[in-house]
Structure 1
Amino acid sequence: NEGNEYFREKDYGRAIVSYSEGLKKKCEDAELSAVLHANRGAAHFHLGNYRSALNDAIQAKKLKPTHLKAIIRGALCHMELRNFSEAIAWCEEGLRIDSKEKKLVEMRAKADKLKVNITAPEPFWRSKLTSPLISRVMMGIDLLCERNIKLVLEPSNEEEEISDGLAEISLNGFHSDNAMGAKVHLDADGNLSWPVLFLYPEHEQTDFIEAFHENSRFIDHLMVMFAELPPWDLERKYLPSNLELYFEDEERAEMYELNPEHTLLQVLQHQRYFVKAGTPTVLAFVKHSPFSKKYFTGKKVHQL
């Protein structure tokens, strides 16, 4: 199978296209279709497209309820998306099929632990912050302050991770719960490159850019990302010139439309942009689409 060959070569993008072509043939064999969905989901997972991977896991499970690999993949996706209750439910479903499946047993225990938000007491923080560590933390904070970038640090779930998370706010990068575990990097010229997540709400798909230079324009990345139409764009509408980009101010339930000619830094410096978990996020919609009109209902929309 061509898709499997691409997968073995770690060419996950082409593997996704190949599996999608197989699914387009609408095979009557439910088990084969389940395998194609499961394999495509695995490729999406390796690219960090967790929502797309989850959708494929759901479809594979519908076609074959005992598809253990699909169930494990679905649970993993929920873990990455920090939907711990859903991850537990998927683990339990898989354990009813195989009560000794090691991955599910371990994931179930981890999800239970992460579901409880543990806040470390102040003395613990102070005891872990040595002078060199404080210097590294302050250096990272200074980089953001110089740029007027607002970073939202979410509390860690495990005590031993707290000091590490603080330490990574440094020249070595910021802690990030993103798709590939990527971090912000400072280059020799003093510029930052960020991991950036693109969301496509209409199709529940995502794209992940591991290193988006702060002085790069959004349009430049769109031209590369959509040089070929994605397999899920069956209506062939996702063209760089036909897209609108937004970020969402969740606190105020307001949307801000980005100018694709703007750089990442220009967007991050906006007074209402808050970087969560070290990963800037952008939403993409087809211009004037019925879905976007419905999505924006009840939200105030601003233009940058």
Structure 2
Amino acid sequence: MAETEGDPEADLDAFLDKFRGPERYEGALSPENWEKEFEKIPMFMKTAPSEIDPKQNPDLACLQSIIFDEEQTLEEQAKSYKNEGNDYFKEKDYKKAVISYTEGLNKKSSDQELNAVLHTNRAAAQFYLGNCRSALDDAIAARKLRPSHLKAIIRGAVCHLELKHFSEAITWCEEGLRIDPKEKKLLETRAKADRLKHTKERDLRKARLQEKKEQAQKDAVFRAIKERNIKLLPVSSEDENVISASLAEMSLDGFSSQSATGSKVCLDENGSLSWPVLFLYPEHGQSDLVSAFHEESRFIDHLMVMFEELPPWDTERKYYPSELELYYEDEEREEIYQICTQSTLLQALQHQRYFVKAGTPIFLVLVKCAPFSKNYFRGKKVHWLK
């Protein structure tokens, strides 16, 4: 009998034939990847997408609308967000947990117990994200709603500890232990905070004693300088207190030499001063630093050591100690003074027109009768320092 159009039996046979052959029905799960495809079905998802687009995931958006139905009471909606946040927290997805707890708080439920829990749970998530300040704010908010909320007290105590608020951490622990004297986390936190507090106080005492000692040394150096009639020129002030304070630095402002960092004038046990002294070589744009030039040492002694071997930048081989001359500039008068290389550092510093700027004596080194030296002094008044 010929197949007639609209025959129910024929339609059924045609439908069943699809399952007998290789052709699969539309939307079927593949035999190879059926487990992964199964997890894409909203009802069986293990984790939800971070953002749900109703157009791309209409089924999932529908489920979400059911979970957070606007017809639910604010308390029910807030509780749903709390449960969602707890699930994210268990998965260690703390950012999403914070978002869920925040949404729950935004419902402004009248259930203060629930709001306290939302704040406490958000504090825990914030803590694991490293946001201790935000976590502490939540713990404080939770306690305002429920002062005896032990979990909020524990969160707050731990946050204070991480923020190095040791006294506050101890106070929170004491308040919590009045509620539960055997709470292990509070006992551990209080012991650690107490130990760190004593360590901090001890270190602070040491720092203050060291600061006092260093100040006494600075004062002694300043007195020794005044006794020698050495004149200091501060960078920006003529006040003696500023000058005294500037002795703490004594670094070489304007020079990038790493070895000069931290150099300063020192007073030894015999009452003698040693200075950081900078030698400049204008002809070559070079410099040398003697970090501890004893005031009674002669310039020639240091030059002999410095130029025992000629430096690589002296391509003309002319920087022999016996051929070198020393000068310093009087910036105020725009004059130059020549110093005898046989004189001591103290003799140079005590000259009436020598001013130590920024704690570092500076001297120019030039070669006798060299063309550069003649041009350098042209138009300048040069004095011989006896």
TM-score with structure 2 length normalisation? 0.40
1:59-98 to 2 correspondences below 5 Å: none
Correspondent of 2:296 among 212, 215, 221 = 215
1:28-67 to 2 correspondences below 5 Å: none
Tell me which amino acid in the other structure corresponds to 1:249. D
Corresponding residue for residue 277 of structure 2: 196
1:138-153 to 2 correspondences below 5 Å: 138-153=219-234
Looking at structure 1, the residues matched to 354 and 224 of structure 2 have their Cα atoms a distance apart, in angstroms, of: 16
Instruction: Report the aligned-residue RMSD.
Output: 2.6
Contact 1:244 1:258 in 2 (8 A): yes
Q: Secondary structure at the match of 1:220?
A: helix
1:143 shift after superposition: 1.2
Correspondent of 2:267 among 175, 186, 189 = 186
Q: Secondary structure at the match of 2:227?
A: helix
Structure 1 residues 132, 208: CA separation in 2 closer, same or farther (over 3 Å shift)?
closer
Corresponding residue for residue 117 of structure 1: none
Looking at structure 1, the residues matched to 213 and 311 of structure 2 have their Cα atoms a distance apart, in angstroms, of: 47
Unaligned runs of 5+ in 2: 1-210, 253-259
Correspondent of 1:175 among 245, 249, 254 = 249
Contact 1:165 1:175 in 2 (8 A): no
Correspondent of 2:326 among 239, 245, 248 = 245
Looking at structure 1, the residues matched to 236 and 214 of structure 2 have their Cα atoms a distance apart, in angstroms, of: 18
Tell me which amino acid in the other structure corresponds to 2:289. F
| Deviations 1:223-266, CA, capped at 9 Å, x for gaps | 00000000000000000000010001111111111000100000
1:133 shift after superposition: 8.8
Corresponding residue for residue 299 of structure 1: 380
Looking at structure 2, the residues matched to 251 and 230 of structure 1 have their Cα atoms a distance apart, in angstroms, of: 33
Q: Secondary structure at the match of 2:347?
A: helix
1:180 shift after superposition: 2.5
Number of paired residues?
A: 165
Looking at structure 1, the residues matched to 223 and 384 of structure 2 have their Cα atoms a distance apart, in angstroms, of: 29
Structure 1 residues 168, 201: CA separation in 2 closer, same or farther (over 3 Å shift)?
closer
Q: Secondary structure at the match of 2:329?
A: strand
Looking at structure 2, the residues matched to 295 and 153 of structure 1 have their Cα atoms a distance apart, in angstroms, of: 27
Looking at structure 1, the residues matched to 286 and 315 of structure 2 have their Cα atoms a distance apart, in angstroms, of: 13
Corresponding residue for residue 283 of structure 1: 364
Structure 1 residues 279, 295: CA separation in 2 closer, same or farther (over 3 Å shift)?
same
Looking at structure 2, the residues matched to 297 and 212 of structure 1 have their Cα atoms a distance apart, in angstroms, of: 31
TM-score with structure 1 length normalisation? 0.50
Looking at structure 2, the residues matched to 297 and 185 of structure 1 have their Cα atoms a distance apart, in angstroms, of: 37
Contact 1:202 1:291 in 2 (8 A): yes
- Larger-Rg structure: 2
Which structure 1 residue ranges, 4+ long, deviate > 2 Å from structure 2? Answer: 130-141, 163-169
Contact 2:221 2:266 in 1 (8 A): no
Q: Secondary structure at the match of 2:343?
A: coil
1:167 shift after superposition: 4.4
1:197 shift after superposition: 0.3
Looking at structure 1, the residues matched to 243 and 339 of structure 2 have their Cα atoms a distance apart, in angstroms, of: 30
Q: Secondary structure at the match of 1:294?
A: helix
Q: Which shifted more, 200-209 or 132-141?
A: 132-141
Looking at structure 1, the residues matched to 214 and 300 of structure 2 have their Cα atoms a distance apart, in angstroms, of: 38
Contact 1:136 1:167 in 2 (8 A): no
Tell me which amino acid in the other structure corresponds to 1:175. E
Q: Which has the higher contact order (CA 8 A, sep 6+)?
A: 1
Looking at structure 1, the residues matched to 212 and 322 of structure 2 have their Cα atoms a distance apart, in angstroms, of: 50
Structure 1 residues 164, 226: CA separation in 2 closer, same or farther (over 3 Å shift)?
same
